[in-house]
């Protein structure tokens, strides 16, 4: 039996048909920020199924805050990181 790693925070990104067309830049930005700060050991970036918010693609969900973030661009991803992860 393997041990399941516990994370302080989980950020979900919608991987539905429309979101996956637009979320690559924001995902890459968050992955890079997590790796550069060493927080990738504490914060998990995980995909989720379509949330039905296709008009607001790409959609991310901050688990600890129970908040959806819509139309997440690279710029918004940096702000999201600063506000919810580093703070």
For 59-72, write each residue's pLDDT tens digit: 999 999 999 999 99
Q: Tell me, what's the pLDDT at 5?
A: 65
For 20-47, write each residue's pLDDT tens digit: 999 999 999 999 999 999 999 999 999 9
Instruction: Please state the pTM of the whole predicted model.
Output: 0.88
CB count within 10 Å of CB 7 equals 16
The HSE-up count of residue 24 (CA atoms within 13 Å, CB side) is 5
- Domains (range + CATH), the chain: 9-86 (3.40.30.10)
The residue among 71, 45, 53 whose CA lies nearest residue 16 is 53
The residue among 27, 7, 12, 24 whose CA lies nearest residue 60 is 12
């Amino acid at each position: 039996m393997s041990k399941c790693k516990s994370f302080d925070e989980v950020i979900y990104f919608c991987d539905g048909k429309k979101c996956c067309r637009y979320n690559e830049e924001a995902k890459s930005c968050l992955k890079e920020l997590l790796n550069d700060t060493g927080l990738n050991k504490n914060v998990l970036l995980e995909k989720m199924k379509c949330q039905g918010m296709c008009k607001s693609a790409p959609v991310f969900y901050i688990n600890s805050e129970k908040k959806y973030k819509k139309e997440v661009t690279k710029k918004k991803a940096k702000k999201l990181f600063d506000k919810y992860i580093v703070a």
